[in-house]
Structure 1
């Protein structure tokens, strides 16, 4: 397997894993007493969790579509790098902006959730950059 194909697959998988991890509290935390706190948790930061998910999914779509040949591959590879960087930067600002709430006391794993989302998003721009480098070389 060459670097181009491997970095493409890693980028798509990292973007999807970021979105899945981002949605984990919705699947795990239940109860009407947490509704407002969970909404505040996801709305933190400049673009919130919805923006992170949007950037991650757009990154996956762009990386997956480079090989289709409909647009210039070099341009799409550059767009994938920018979207990947936006994903990680958005996740980092979101993680820094989260204010602990009583929901954290009842669900201790939430203390690490935002950091895990950031960590999962880091391979997105790195693999997009590796893909762009392999494509343009």
Structure 2
């Protein structure tokens, strides 16, 4: 079969089905008062507004939000002397820089590994991928 004959057959097939290929369908108009939308996980619900505690005495004496039950109350805070000493030594600020860490600690070597992995991942992104 030569190329001219093949291309002429394609043209005739294209002309026959051109009406089918160019037809478009549109979405149905939304009816007023229609049922609420249902997603994959069920009907879409409204977000629940959580109240914020503003009572200063309660904020100072209780762990607000610690009660997960319907009945009961939040955990009452104890005096500082009843908590272990290591609790007050925990670093809560921004992460320390690598230069500030002790090279003999696990934290130091975890950070070195993390930095190395990030650097390798960035280098992999810049390399051109070859298709095999």
TM-score, with normalisation over the residues of structure 2? Answer: 0.21
More helix by proportion, 1 or 2? 1
- Relative contact order, higher structure (CA 8 A, sep 6+): 1
TM-score, with normalisation over the residues of structure 1? Answer: 0.20
More strand by proportion, 1 or 2? 2
